[in-house]
Amino acid sequence: MNLILKAATVIDPTSPFHKQTVDVLIENGIITDINTEITPKNNVKEIILDNLHVSQGWFDSSVSFGEPGYEERETIDHGLTVAAKSGFTDIALNPNTLPVTDTSASIGFITGKAHNKATNVHPIGALTVKSEGIDLAELYDMQQAGAVAFGDYKKSIQNPNLLKIALLYAQNFNGLVLSFPQENNIAGKGVMNEEEQSTLLGLKGIPALAEELQVARDLFLLEYTGGKLHIPTISTAKSVALIKEAKAKGLQVTCSVSVHHLTLTDSELTTFDANFKVLPPLRTQKDVDALLKGIEDDTIDMVTSDHQPIDIEHKKVEFDAAKYGTIGLETVFGMLNNILGLEKTVSVLTHGKEIFGIAPIQINKGNPASLSLFNPQGDSTFTEDRIISTSKNSAFVGKATKGHVYGITANGKIVLK
């Protein structure tokens, strides 16, 4: 497909066209010209969108669908349409399927289903067989099949020796190990943050200590073994401090934070709405402030939607019995733009690619067109009728957002809302 993006403002600090409003000519998936005005040829489609801005394609490091095994929550095909319309050219797909994505064959199934789509899928292989935390999965074989990292989604590695062995073994092929930050014995049967709100609501709490003990343990192990460790979706002030200290020591540790931990607190749970039941749990405003500071000083490497579709049968139930998780792909940009501003929002949505072995693509002539398309202006309230995901379990219904995502152009395709 050949097209021209008309009057597009470029947001890419690495590009010579940063902050310029230009026409972008794309032919067979390649940017062939960028100029003040380009006259279209007969076979070129013009894309004219209000206050169009473009950036390098956004990357989400923690996305769950349902296929295989939980197709009623989200299929790969429909999930990738959601991702594209939400502005993401690349996503890392979690292994929490049925069966768990823990073999080279299961990685091949994911990449096969995602073939020839606008949004690129980068599978995360399970770190342990069936994500049971007992035996390491076939990490090298999965990497050869296309896995970009290894971790058991929302399941922490309770055996420290197992994580030690994983960090040592993965160094043989430059593998990235993910470790979910929760000490289960401390978390117990908690369902929300252990603080004043949990006492008022009479719900069992998960203390910040459960996360921080695990983070501290994992950093000690990393210091001993070397290797590369990624800690997904941290949620407490102390976790930020621990990771900042580890980075200052020169350890190869990275981390992410979810958009809901940056924008929501445990005060949301007063309605007992299970859409706010997430893991790690929503924390306090003090934690939110520390996470935002971690974004500002680059202690936190990336922001994720931590998109986790859950069908209504497992969400519209008693709070204690409801499954953890919220969808978030469709609201990431609007929520972040509201609190971080345009350039920082684009930065945190594009920065994490290198950590997962994905090469960034500068907006310049001769490069593939891997672009997110959006309008950063315009305030609105997110409503349920705007959800295009199959599952509707969004914690952001009724929340203020800023800007509008048009879609993406990538892999020679264009997907618009």
Phi/psi for 132 (5° steps) reads: -95, -5
Contact 182, 211 (CB under 8 A): yes
According to DSSP, the residues that pair with 22 across neighbouring strands are 8
Beta carbons of 271 and 183 less than 8 angstroms apart:
no
Q: Are 40 and 4 in contact (CB under 8 A)?
A: yes
Place of tokens 């947001």: 11
Report which residue type is found at 190: G
- Spatial distance between the Cα atoms of 298 and 318, rounded to a whole number of angstroms: 39
Residue 303, SS3 per DSSP: strand
**Short-list 186, 181, 114, CA closest to 146:** 114
| Residue among 306, 311, 379, 385 flagged as catalytic | 306
Amino acid at 355: I
Contact 177, 170 (CB under 8 A): yes
Closest CA to 286 of 336, 235, 322, 213: 235
Q: H or E element: which one contains 383?
A: none
Cα 29 → chain centroid: 25
Give the count of beta carbons closer than 10 Å to the beta carbon of residue 259.
27
Angle at CA of residue 29, ends 24 and 35, nearest 5°: 15
Q: Are the C-beta atoms of residues 212 and 238 closer than 8 Å to each other?
A: yes
- Cα–Cα dist 61/67, whole Å: 18
CA distance 293 to 248: 16
- Answer yes or no: are the C-beta atoms of 256 and 262 closer than 8 Å: no
32 phi and psi angles, rounded to 5 deg: -100, -15
270: which 2 tokens?
Answer: 């007063």
Burial 300-335 (b: 16+ CB within 10 A, else e): bbbbbbbbbbbbeebbeeebeebebbbbbbbbbbbb
Q: Is 306 a catalytic residue?
A: yes
What token pair was written down for 416?
């618009």
* Residues listed for the chain: 417
Catalytic residues: 306
